Amino acid sequence: MPSHPNGHPGRAALGAFLRSRRQSLTPEDLGLDLTQPREGPGLFREEVAHRAGISVAYLARFEQGTATQASVAALNGLGRALMLDAHERDELFRLAETPPATRRREPPPEHVSIGTAQLLTAMADVPAIVLGTRDDVLAWNRLGHRLIASHLPFESPLDLDTRPNRVKMGFLDPRLRETYRDWKVEAQRAVTQLQQLATHRSDDLALMRLVGDLVVASDEFAAYWADPQPAAPTRGIRELYHPEVGDLDLRFEILTLEGSEQRLLTHSADPGSVSEERLRDLAALIPA
């Protein structure tokens, strides 16, 4: 293949495609602030990068044809940010030389097994929540619900239309956010877990939609998403505040359920601690 003056010809074509699409959009298309002066047509590179959930430097490398690889997650983010239709998305992936088999997959709805549901009921004294692959709340026991989201109906995880998502609630639900005394720590943990998931489920449409919704709805989430961090812990101390009993310092454990990607999240208090007493007080408030 003959050499290309700017390096790999496919990457140069990808860069030209992205620049052209960015310049064809207007701020009005995305509902952006029009007060900032603009010297030319189209969107600022920063605006596209923010909505795609990638760094400005990464987008610049794409547009300049110097990016050595394009992840499916990044391409899906760019597709959303640039408002590409199905044909344009296919062209984006073709130029990025991404295998078609890894592009998109609509996962089936997740549900807990009968055994897991019975386990939750048996763990009445332990706040417990079953999280799905993308941090959807699939089920919780009464104390887990009372601890984390008593303002939501207990049955909400059963309905796919109302099923809570732990990350989405943290960034968009002020009531849940106030539960965490150190929100920055929790925010980083939540985003890091999604980033880990995206590395091996980059074809997951539901995951891409979740990330896309959060990037658009929360500038804070977008900033965390653009700054990858080391692996999220599966155990540790969580500092909580509950309006009915006050501060709680609880140990959390995240256990992967065998045969699935579902996880059991539990909280417990050290024996003899004030938090143990307050957790018992909280349990006593649950209607019989």
**Identity of the amino acid at 144:** G
pLDDT for the residue numbered 250: 98
Q: What is the 3-state secondary structure (H, E, C) of 27-53?
A: HHHHCCCCCCCCCCCCCCHHHHHHHHC
Tokens of 169: 């609630």
Given a contact cutoff of 8 angstroms between Cβ atoms, the answer to whether 242 and 286 are in contact is: no
Please tell me the predicted confidence (pLDDT) of residue 33.
60
Q: Output the six-digit token pair for 13.
A: 């074509």
Residue 105: CB atoms within 10 Å: 14
Cα distance between residue 288 and residue 201, in whole Å: 41
Q: How many CA atoms lie within 13 A of 201 on its CB side?
A: 20
Residues 1-27 have pLDDT tens digits of 333 444 455 678 888 999 999 998 887
Q: Which tokens is 143 given?
A: 């104390």
Residue 183 confidence (pLDDT): 94
Give me the phi and psi of 242, to 5 degrees please: -120, 130
Would you say 55 and 75 are in contact if contact means Cβ atoms under 8 Å apart?
A: no
Which CATH number describes the domain made up of 114-284? 3.30.450.180
Angle, nearest 10°, between helix axes 86-95 and 72-81? 140
Q: What's the pLDDT band for 69 if we cut at 50, 70, 90?
A: confident
Examine the pLDDT at 116 and tell me if it is beyond 60.
yes
- Place 70 in a pLDDT band, splitting at 50, 70 and 90: confident
In 80-136, DSSP assigns E strands to 128-131
Query: Percent of the chain, pLDDT > 90?
Result: 48
Position 93 scores a pLDDT of 85
| Range 9-102: architecture per CATH | Orthogonal Bundle (1.10)
Q: Are 132 and 50 contacting, i.e. CB atoms less than 8 angstroms apart? A: no
Buried b (16+ CB within 10 A) or exposed e, 210-237: bbbebbbebeebbebbbeeeeebeeeee
Per-residue pLDDT tens digits for 84-113: 887 788 888 888 876 544 555 567 889 999
**Whole-number Cα distances in Å, 136 to 5, 112, 232:** 48, 12, 17
Q: What's the rounded Cα separation, in Å, for the pair 163 and 169?
A: 11
Residue 65 tokens, joined: 């044809």
Buried/exposed 122-135: b ≥16 CB within 10 Å, e otherwise: eeeebbbbbbbbbb
Domain ranges, ordered by start, for the chain = 9-102, 114-284
- Dihedral angle sign, alpha carbons of residues 221, 224, 226, 229: negative
At 187, list the tokens. 């925010």
Per-residue pLDDT at 101: 44
> Residue 163's pLDDT is what?
94
Q: Spell out the alpha helix ranges (H) of 155-234.
A: 166-172, 174-177, 183-200, 205-217, 219-225
pLDDT of residue 8: 54
Which pLDDT tens digit goes with each residue over 127-175? 999 999 999 999 999 999 999 999 999 999 999 888 999 999 999 999 9
Amino acid at 266: T
pTM over 0.85: no
